[in-house]
């Protein structure tokens, strides 16, 4: 090989020499022929190596990503298509079977918001979503979500802009959005690991809290994930009502901390606080045989502690992974109900814990347990549904789902629901279909 390099060098030097004696012409011709032969040999060897490498590249292609984890242009990402809107339609439908009549649903000790029951029985189209999102320009991102209800009504679920380039780790969001409190609250229904939300969210937040307002987040410049957030909100959504305080009737604060443990584990813990003013808040807290306490006016404060742990072998969730999450919600309310002559001052709380295990690609198994607790607000409320009596609302759930891709999912779920005094055996058969581009989800 060294002789080859020497011959090539000689040829290159000779090729740039200004003049060569005639006596050496024969030697130059021989060297040029040797150089041509070496070039042909090298081209042949390179072609052979490329032919050997090509099938190995085919065998080592990166496997497809885990369902609901495919990144697309979105928040904070600038690509050649970043300014073209990503449009997706989420179709959600189910077949449900309940032992008890869902129309008479109530939870003793809790005043429920609208649409917080188990849903309709039988075949039904659940809430679908039309989502449009894109970078507005190099400094702003925008998103719009239109909820299409089974009653053929359209509701604006989210419509907001968000900054991309504020200095020092700050991000500003303004418009209509789901609050950053807790963990499950920001997730849209198609992201839920179960067909229904946790009992604590149903009872204390009317499924989830979204409102008009502004949010400021700060991400600390540390290896450990540390995030703080503040929100000023209109106060039109349960547990708030009436948009008090000149249209700023609610506010919240939250902190989230998280990180990795080795290459296979990651975690996040958070604490949140929501303060809401309620003016003539309509609610339903009674079964068919109990009189309603009426509309509520007063203050409502909700504190949430959340914890999430995720495991994937060697950080690769494609084949198997496990997610454990738990949240505790505690609400304090102080005010009056329109149909009761005594003041209302009571506390309610609830928690859930769930684990979802992907035991093989596309298949997941999940278990969940919920429990609620409510104070006795006093003898003046003994004839209403706000008196919990000696009943402790609980629910146990199990689900199995299959995802053919990141765009489709089928789920079978069973609930043993004891949130009412009578036990309700509930079955869900659900499908979720995502049409069009859909961005990656948060942790």
**Same domain, residue pair 113 and 20:** no
Confidence of residue 71 (pLDDT cuts 50, 70, 90): very low
**Same domain, residue pair 200 and 299:** yes
Is residue 170 included in any domain, yes or no?
A: yes
Whether the per-residue pLDDT at 15 is higher than 50: the answer is no
Q: What is the model's pLDDT at position 352?
A: 98
Whether the per-residue pLDDT at 72 is higher than 80: the answer is no
Is residue 175 included in any domain, yes or no?
A: yes
Bigger pLDDT: 391 or 49?
A: 391
Is residue 90 included in any domain, yes or no?
A: no
**Same domain, residue pair 281 and 400:** yes
Bigger pLDDT: 57 or 275?
A: 275
Q: What is the pLDDT of residues 85-108, one digit of tens each?
A: 999 999 999 999 999 999 889 999
State the CATH number of the domain containing residue 201.
2.40.160
- How far from the centroid of its chain's Cα atoms is residue 283's Cα? 28
**Same domain, residue pair 215 and 304:** yes
Whether the per-residue pLDDT at 78 is higher than 60: the answer is no
- How far from the centroid of its chain's Cα atoms is residue 170's Cα? 21
Q: What is the model's pLDDT at position 36?
A: 74
Bigger pLDDT: 187 or 441?
A: 187
Between CA 226 and CA 219 the distance in angstroms is: 6
Average confidence score pLDDT of the chain: 87
Q: What is the model's pLDDT at position 290?
A: 65
Q: What is the model's pLDDT at position 44?
A: 66
Q: Where are the beta strands (DSSP E) in 61-112?
A: 86-98
Print the domain residue range for 353. Answer: 103-117+158-436
Is residue 80 included in any domain, yes or no?
A: no
Confidence of residue 82 (pLDDT cuts 50, 70, 90): low
Bigger pLDDT: 80 or 278?
A: 278
Is residue 212 included in any domain, yes or no?
A: yes
β-sheet bridge partners, residue 215: 173, 231
Q: What is the model's pLDDT at position 288?
A: 61
Q: What is the model's pLDDT at position 67?
A: 38
Both tokens assigned to 343: 């003041």
Q: What is the pLDDT of residues 258-296, one digit of tens each?
A: 999 999 999 999 999 999 999 999 988 766 656 788 999
Mean pLDDT of 196-213: 97
Whether the per-residue pLDDT at 69 is higher than 50: the answer is no
- Chosen domain end from 59, 77, 94: 59
Q: What is the model's pLDDT at position 70?
A: 34
- How many folded domains does the chain comprise? 2
**Same domain, residue pair 54 and 186:** no
Whether the per-residue pLDDT at 183 is higher than 80: the answer is yes
β-sheet bridge partners, residue 410: 402, 431
Distance set, CA 86 to CA 81, 102, 443 (Å)? 9, 37, 21
Give the closest residue to 182 by CA, choosing from 75, 275, 273, 110.
Answer: 273
Q: Which residue has the tokens 């809790």?
A: 110
* CB count in 10 Å sphere of residue 307: 15
For residue 380, give every residue at least 6 positions away whose Cβ sits within 8 Å of its Cβ, in sequence order, or none.
340, 341, 342
Q: Is the pTM of this model over 0.85?
A: no
**Same domain, residue pair 258 and 385:** yes
Is residue 145 included in any domain, yes or no?
A: no
Is residue 387 included in any domain, yes or no?
A: yes
**Same domain, residue pair 16 and 112:** no
Q: What is the model's pLDDT at position 19?
A: 44
Bigger pLDDT: 365 or 66?
A: 365
For residue 32, give every residue at least 6 positions away whose Cβ sits within 8 Å of its Cβ, in sequence order, or none.
11
**Same domain, residue pair 250 and 394:** yes
Q: Determine how β-strand 122-125 pairs with β-strand 424-436.
A: unpaired
Q: What is the model's pLDDT at position 37?
A: 74
**Same domain, residue pair 244 and 344:** yes
Whether the per-residue pLDDT at 377 is higher than 90: the answer is yes
Is residue 344 included in any domain, yes or no?
A: yes
**Same domain, residue pair 259 and 366:** yes
Whether the per-residue pLDDT at 16 is higher than 80: the answer is no
Confidence of residue 81 (pLDDT cuts 50, 70, 90): low
Bigger pLDDT: 82 or 403?
A: 403
Q: What is the model's pLDDT at position 289?
A: 58
- Chosen domain end from 24, 41, 59: 59
Q: What percent of the chain has pLDDT over 70?
A: 83
Whether the per-residue pLDDT at 221 is higher than 60: the answer is yes
**Same domain, residue pair 271 and 177:** yes
Q: What is the pLDDT of residues 297-343, one digit of tens each?
A: 999 999 999 999 999 999 999 999 999 999 999 999 999 999 999 99
**Same domain, residue pair 282 and 370:** yes
Q: What is the model's pLDDT at position 114?
A: 87
Whether the per-residue pLDDT at 386 is higher than 50: the answer is yes
């Amino acid at each position: 090989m060294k002789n080859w390099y020497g011959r090539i060098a000689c040829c290159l030097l000779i090729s740039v020499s200004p003049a060569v004696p005639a006596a050496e012409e024969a030697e130059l011709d021989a060297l040029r022929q040797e150089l041509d032969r070496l070039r042909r040999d090298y081209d042949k060897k390179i072609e052979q190596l490329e032919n050997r490498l090509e099938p190995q590249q085919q065998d080592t292609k990166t496997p497809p990503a885990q369902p609901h984890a495919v990144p697309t242009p979105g928040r904070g990402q600038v690509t050649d298509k970043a300014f073209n809107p990503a449009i997706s339609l989420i179709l959600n439908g189910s077949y449900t079977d309940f032992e008890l009549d869902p129309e008479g649903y109530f939870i003793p000790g809790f005043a429920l918001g609208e649409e917080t029951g188990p849903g309709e029985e039988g075949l039904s189209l659940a809430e679908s979503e039309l989502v449009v999102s894109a970078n507005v320009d190099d400094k702003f991102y925008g998103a719009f979500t239109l909820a299409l209800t089974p009653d053929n009504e359209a509701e604006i679920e989210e419509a907001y802009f968000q900054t991309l380039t504020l200095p020092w780790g700050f991000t500003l969001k303004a418009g209509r959005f789901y609050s950053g409190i807790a963990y499950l609250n920001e997730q849209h229904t198609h992201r839920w690991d179960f067909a229904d939300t946790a009992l604590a969210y149903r009872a204390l937040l009317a499924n989830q809290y979204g409102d008009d307002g502004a949010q400021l987040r700060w991400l600390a410049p540390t290896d450990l994930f540390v995030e703080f957030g503040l929100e000023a909100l209109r106060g039109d959504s349960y547990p708030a009502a009436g948009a008090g305080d000149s249209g700023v009737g609610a506010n919240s604060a939250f902190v989230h901390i998280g990180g990795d443990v080795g290459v296979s584990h990651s975690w996040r813990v958070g604490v949140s606080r929501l303060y809401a003013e309620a003016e003539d808040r309509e609610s339903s807290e009674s079964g068919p045989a109990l009189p309603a306490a009426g509309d509520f006016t007063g203050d409502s404060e909700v504190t949430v502690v959340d914890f999430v742990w995720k495991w994937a072998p060697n950080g690769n969730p494609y084949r198997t992974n496990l997610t454990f999450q738990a949240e505790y919600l505690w609400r304090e309310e102080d005010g009056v109900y329109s149909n009761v002559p005594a003041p209302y001052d009571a506390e309610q709380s609830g928690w859930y814990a769930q684990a979802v295990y992907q035991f093989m690609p596309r298949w997941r198994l999940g278990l969940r347990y919920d429990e609620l607790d409510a104070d006795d607000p006093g003898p003046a409320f003994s004839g209403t549904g706000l008196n919990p009596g000696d009943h402790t609302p609980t629910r146990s759930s199990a689900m199995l789902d299959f995802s053919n891709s990141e765009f489709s999912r089928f789920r079978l779920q069973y609930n043993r629901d004891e949130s009412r005094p009578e036990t309700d055996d509930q079955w869900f058969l659900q499908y979720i279909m995502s049409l069009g581009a859909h961005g990656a989800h948060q942790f």
